[in-house]
Amino acid sequence: MKKVAIIGSGGSGKSTLARRLGLALDTNVWHLDQLLWKPNWTPVKREEQTEIQEALVKNDKWIIDGNYNSTLNIRLEAADTIIFLDISRYVCVYRVFKRMIKFRNKTRPDMKEGCHEKLNLKFLKWIWDYPKTKKPIVLAKLENLSTEKEIIILRSSEEVEEFINFVECKTKA
C-alpha cells in the first residue's frame, strides 16, 4: 500500500481517511481540493490539473484523495491501492451540513486557503445523485482494474474505522 487513491462522494470522508491513513503509513497526503482550486473557488485549468496529478503519481509513495472524474484515470492507473468510500447519501449530506457549520466563513484544512466553506444546491444535488450518476461509472472502472490493483470498498463509518485499525495494527507489527 504505497500509492493509494481515495475516491467517493462529497462528504464520504475521503480527506479524513487520507489524513489518518497518511499518519498510519507515514506517507504524504495530497488533497486534490487543495491543489486544484485557487482562492475564491476559482478552478485550476484542466491542463494544469493533469500536470499536477501526473507529477504527484510519479512519487514512490502517496495518498491522494478526491474525485475529479476528468483526471481520475491518472490516479487509478498509477495507484496500487484504490479505496472507494461507498457511504450512504444520507450520511454524506449530513456530514456536508456538519462541515459547513464547523467551518463557516473559514477554510477547511484540506482546501485551498481562500476557499471558504460554502454549500449550494448544485453540490447537494451532486451528492444526492452520486449513487445513480457517478457510482456506476466508478464501479465499472474498478471492475476493470480489479485484477491489477487492490480495491477496497468501505460502506460505512464502522468499516472505515475497522480498516484504519487494521492498517495501524499491521504497521506497528
Q: What is the pLDDT of residue 112?
A: 87
Confidence check: pLDDT of 173 > 80: no
Residue-level pLDDT at 123: 93
| Domain around 151 | 3-172
Alpha-carbon Rg for the chain, nearest whole angstrom, is 16
- At 5, the pLDDT band (50, 70, 90 cuts) reads very high
Residue type, position 17, single letter: L
Name the phi and psi angles at 150, rounded to 5.
Answer: -85, 120
CATH number reported for the structural domain that contains residue 139 in this entry: 3.40.50.300
Residue 140 sits at the vertex; the CA angle it makes with 137 and 143, to the nearest 5 degrees, is 150
Q: Given this model, what pLDDT does residue 136 score?
A: 97
165 neighbors 127 (Cβ within 8 angstroms): no
Q: Which residues sit opposite 154 in a β-bridge?
A: 85
Read off the C-alpha cell for 96: 456536508
Question: What's the pLDDT at 102?
Answer: 92
Judging by DSSP bridges, how do beta strands 42-43 and 37-38 pair with one another?
A: antiparallel
Domain count of the chain? 1
Across-strand partners of 7? 84
Q: What is residue 146's predicted lDDT score, i.e. its pLDDT?
A: 79
* Structure confidence at residue 52 (pLDDT): 96
User: How do residues 70-128 score in pLDDT, each as one tens digit?
Assistant: 999 999 999 999 999 999 999 999 999 999 999 988 889 888 888 888 889 999 999 99
* Cβ atoms of 120 and 40 closer than 8 Å: no
Read off the pLDDT of residues 29-74 as tens digits, 9 standing for 90 and up.
Answer: 999 999 999 999 899 999 999 999 999 999 999 999 999 989 999 9
